[in-house]
Amino acid sequence: MRFPPSFLDEIRDRVPISSVIGTRVSFDRKKTNASKGDFWACCPFHGEKSPSFHCEDRKGRYHCFGCGVTGDHFRFLTELEGLSFPEAVARIADMAGVPMPVMDAEQQRREEKRGTLYDVMELAAAFFEDQLQASVGAKARSYLRDRGLNAQTQAEFRIGYAPEGRNILKEYLASKGATREQIEACGMVVHGEGIAVSYDRFRDRIMFPITDSRNRVIAFGGRAMSPDAPAKYLNSPETELFHKGRVLYNMVRARRACQAQNGEEAKPVIAVEGYMDVIALAQAGFNEVVAPLGTALTEEQMALLWRISPEPVLCFDGDQAGLRAAYRAVDTGLPNLQPGKSLAFALLPDGKDPDDLVKEQGASAFRTVLQDAKPLAEMLWMRETAGGNFETPERRAELDARMRTHVARIKDEGVKHYYSQHMREKSQSFFGPKWGRQNADKRAGGFGGKGNFQPQRGKAGGFGSSFGGGFGNNASTKASDSLTRSAIVKGGSSAPSLREATIVLTLINHPPLIDENFETVATLELTHAGLTALHAAVLDVMASHLAEDGKAMRKTLSENGFSELLEELELVVRRARLWPATLLAAEDDAREALKQAMHLHLRARTLHKELRAVEEALSTEASAEVFARLIDIQSEIRKADATEALIEGFGQSSGRPPGGF
C-alpha cells in the first residue's frame, strides 16, 4: 500500500533512529555522545573492528564511513532485516504508538486473507511436527537419525512428517476451522480442473517448513520416503504467500549468524544447493547458510544474499551439475556487481555435497573449501578458458570477443573498467612473459611471421584468456600492406582529419593511455582508411606486449611499414602546434588533451549517425517534426565543428613542451 508522506514523517519524528539501530548493534561508549543524539558503532552491514557506523537522531539518518551504506529508519529495517517496506513501516509505527493508516476495502480484504493464510500454514507446520514424533513417524525419525540429524537440530528447524493418507492434513485443518478456499490457497492440497475431490499434496514425506523474512511459515519442502515417488523433493506451489524465486531457505537464522558478534567480524553468508545441506552444516556449526528452493539462484535471491553480506559465498556440489550451477550463477550475478559487492565460489571435491563432506571429514574440511573460494572474475575466466586451445589468432580473437561481451554486461562503469583491466592482465599472464625483442627482428612479414614469435598456449583445463590479445598476429601484416598503398603515405590528397590524427598519434606516443581507456580505444571508429589500419596495428602491438613506451611503440610500428605515416602524422600535429600529442609532452597533459579530443570525436560520430537517420526518415516522411529535428542536428554539428578549435588550441593553454617544437 502507499503511505501518506505526512504519516511517514510523523512516525520517523516520534522514534529516534538510535532506538531502531540500537536493537541490532552495541554503540561505542567512547565515540558516542548520547546527550547530543550522536551515536557510533561497528557497522552491522560489513565486518569491522573499529566503529565507523554513525547515526544522528537529529537528522534521522545513518551512514557508514567504511562501506558507504546510508539510509533512514525504514531502509535500515529493509536492508538489514530483509523486511518489506510496508513491514518496516508497521514496525516503526508500532514503536511510535501510531495506528497504521486505514486501508481501502480491497486492501483490507487482501491483508486479512494473508493473515489468515499465515495461521493455516502455522497449523500445518505444527501438525507435521507432531506427526514426526507419533508412531506414524517412526520410519522418518529413523531416516533422520541415519542422516546424522539429532533431536535438537530437528526441533530447531521444525522438521516434521506428512503421513501417507490422502486426506489426513486436509481433515485436520478443516477441524481447526480452516475453509476449503484457505487450504487450497495455501497450496496444501492438489485441486483444480479434472480433480473431483482435492487431496493432500504432501504424503509420506519428511517436511521442511520454509519461512519468510519475519520467520512466518509460508511454504514447505517435502523429501519423499519412498524410492518410487515421482519426485524426491517437492515444494509448495506458488501462492499468495510464497514465490520460490524470492525466498531463501533459513534466511532469518543465517542473517543473524552473519552479523558481527562478541567482538568477532561479520561472516559472509553461504548459499548451498538443498535443505539437507543447510541443516547438516548448521549442526556442524555453520549457521550462516541458506539455500534456494529447487531452482537456480535468481536475481531476487542474489539481492537477498547481498542484503546479508557484501560478498556471499556460493557453494556448489563437486560434480558437473554443480559446476553448471556455478556458471549459471556467474551469469546471473555479473550484471549487478557493484564496488565492494561481488560473489565468491566454493567448489566441493568431486562427487561430494556439504552434507557428505562434514560427515566424512568434519567441519574443518568444509572450512578449507570456503578458504579456497574463487572470486567471480576467476570463475568467469575458468569457464571461458577451461579445456580451450588458443594457439591461433582466430581462436584468441574469438575468446577475446566472448570476454568483452561478458564484461560489457556489467552495469557499474567502475567495476566494468577494472574487470576489463583484470582480464587483460590475466591474458598476459596466461600467454606467457613478454615476447622477446629479438624475435621481432627475426620475424618476416610483420607480426604474424614465422619463427619464435608464438605465445605459450595455456594447458587444457587451466585458467587463461586472450583478453586484449585476440587481435590476431596477421592484422599488422594486412595493415602494413594496406598502408603502403594508401594515399597519405604516397603523398596523396586523402589526408586524415586533424582530430583523428591527434587521437591516434597521442595513443602511439603515450601507450599507457591505451590501457587506461581500453574499451573506448578498442572500439574507436575512424573515417580514414590509413588510420583505421594503423589503429588495428597499434592494438596488435599492445596485445603482443611490444610497447613499453612511446618510443618502443613507434619503433615496432616503423619496422612493420608505418614509418612514412608516422612522419606524416607528426608533421600534421606539429603544424597545428598540438604538442600534447607528441613524445615530448608530459603524460598528464597528453591525458587531458586526449580526453577532450575523444569527447569531440565521439560526439561528432554520434551526430552524423543521427543526421543520416533523420535524412532517411525525411525521404519517407516529410513532416514538420522530422524537418525540425534535421535543423537541430545540423545546428549541433556546426557547434561541434566550431568547438574543434579546442583541439587546435589545447596545446597553447599549458605552455610548451621542453625544447619547444
Same domain as 109, residue 92: no
pLDDT of residue 451: 34
Cα torsion angle, 51, 53, 57, 58, sign: positive
Identify the CATH number of the domain in which residue 60 sits: 3.90.580.10
Q: Domain for residue 92, yes or no?
A: yes
Q: Domain boundary at 96, 119, 144, which?
A: 96
The pLDDT tens digits for 594-621 are: 888 887 787 777 777 777 776 766 666 6
pLDDT of residue 185: 94
What is 348-406 written as a DSSP string? EEET--HHHHHHHH-HHHHHHHHHTPEEHHHHHHHHHHTT----SHHHHHHHHHHHHHH
444 CB contacts (<8 Å, ≥6 apart)? 450, 451
What is the three-class DSSP state of 179?
coil
Q: For residue 583, give the nearest of 482, 647, 503, 506 by alpha carbon.
A: 506
Q: Domain for residue 633, yes or no?
A: yes
- The residue count of the chain comes to 661
Identify the CATH number of the domain in which residue 258 sits: 3.40.1360.10
Q: Domain boundary at 529, 552, 583, which?
A: 583
d(Cα 269, Cα 378) in Å, to the nearest integer? 20
Highest mean pLDDT out of 109-113, 231-235, 440-444, 644-648:
231-235
Mean pLDDT of 328-336: 94
Q: Domain for residue 482, yes or no?
A: yes
Q: Could you tell me what percent of the chain has a pLDDT over 70?
A: 80
Of residues 158 and 393, which shows the higher confidence score? 158
- The boundaries of the domain holding residue 272 are 251-372
d(Cα 348, Cα 361) in Å, to the nearest integer? 12
N-terminal to C-terminal alpha carbon distance within the chain: 70
pLDDT of residue 24: 85
d(Cα 21, Cα 422) in Å, to the nearest integer? 38
Q: Residue 280: is its pLDDT beyond 90?
A: yes
Instruction: Categorize the per-residue pLDDT at 78 as very low, low, confident or very high, splitting at 50, 70 and 90.
Output: confident
Same domain as 596, residue 577: no
The torsion region of residue 659 among left (phi > 0), alpha (psi -120 to 50) and beta comes to left
Kindly report the number of other CB atoms within 10 A of residue 518's CB atom. 19
Same domain as 359, residue 220: no
Q: Residue 77: is its pLDDT beyond 80?
A: yes
Q: Domain for residue 407, yes or no?
A: no
Same domain as 112, residue 36: no
d(Cα 197, Cα 192) in Å, to the nearest integer? 9
Q: Which amino acid does the sequence have at 44?
A: P
Given a contact cutoff of 8 angstroms between Cβ atoms, the answer to whether 495 and 488 are in contact is: yes
> Largest alpha-carbon pair distance within the chain?
99
Mean pLDDT of 36-60: 86
Same domain as 528, residue 504: yes
Q: In the chain, how many domains are there? A: 5
Same domain as 224, residue 325: no
Given a contact cutoff of 8 angstroms between Cβ atoms, the answer to whether 489 and 565 are in contact is: yes
> For residue 72, what are the CA distances in angstroms to 20, 36, 44, 98, 316?
10, 18, 14, 18, 36
Instruction: State the pTM of this model.
Output: 0.57
Same domain as 209, residue 80: no
Same domain as 546, residue 483: yes
pLDDT of residue 545: 66
Same domain as 319, residue 259: yes
Q: Which amino acid does the sequence have at 294?
A: G
Distance of CA 544 to the CA centre of its chain: 30
Q: What are the strands, taking DSSP E only, across 139-188?
A: 160-162
Of residues 465 and 107, which shows the higher confidence score? 107
Mean pLDDT of 409-437: 77
Q: Which amino acid does the sequence have at 428?
A: Q
Q: How many CA atoms lie within 13 A of 486 on its CB side?
A: 25
**What would you report as the CA-atom Rg of the chain, rounded to the nearest whole angstrom?**
33
Q: Domain for residue 320, yes or no?
A: yes
577 CB contacts (<8 Å, ≥6 apart)? 648, 651, 652, 661
Of residues 294 and 201, which shows the higher confidence score? 201
Identify the CATH number of the domain in which residue 203 sits: 3.90.980.10
Q: Domain for residue 380, yes or no?
A: no
Distance of CA 624 to the CA centre of its chain: 45
> For residue 472, what are the CA distances in angstroms to 189, 367, 402, 444, 504?
62, 44, 15, 16, 20
Average pLDDT over the chain, rounded to whole?
A: 80
17 is written with which cell numbers? Answer: 533512529
What is the three-class DSSP state of 62?
strand
d(Cα 220, Cα 125) in Å, to the nearest integer? 8
CA angle 305, 321, 419 (to 5 degrees): 50
323 CB contacts (<8 Å, ≥6 apart)? 316, 347
What is 308-349 written as a DSSP string? H-SS-EEEEEESHHHHHHHHHHHHHHGGG-BTTB--EEEEEE
What is the three-class DSSP state of 3?
coil
Q: Domain boundary at 96, 127, 159, which?
A: 96
Q: Domain for residue 412, yes or no?
A: no
d(Cα 433, Cα 421) in Å, to the nearest integer? 17
Kindly report the number of other CB atoms within 10 A of residue 366's CB atom. 24
The torsion region of residue 294 among left (phi > 0), alpha (psi -120 to 50) and beta comes to left
CA angle 178, 184, 187 (to 5 degrees): 115
Q: Which residues pair with 345 in a beta bridge?
A: 314, 374
d(Cα 67, Cα 46) in Å, to the nearest integer? 7
64, 70, 74, 80: CA torsion to nearest 10: -50
Same domain as 341, residue 310: yes
Same domain as 84, residue 116: no
104 is written with which cell numbers? Answer: 481501502
Q: Residue 649: is its pLDDT beyond 50?
A: no
Mean pLDDT of 190-196: 89
The pLDDT tens digits for 358-399 are: 999 999 999 999 999 999 999 999 999 887 888 888 888 888
Inter-axis angle of helices 587-620 and 624-643, nearest 10: 160
Lowest average pLDDT, out of 164-168, 246-250, 580-584, 657-661, goes to 657-661
The pLDDT tens digits for 289-300 are: 999 987 789 998
Q: Domain for residue 601, yes or no?
A: yes
Same domain as 577, residue 596: no
Given a contact cutoff of 8 angstroms between Cβ atoms, the answer to whether 377 and 419 are in contact is: yes
Instruction: Categorize the per-residue pLDDT at 411 as very low, low, confident or very high, splitting at 50, 70 and 90.
Output: very high
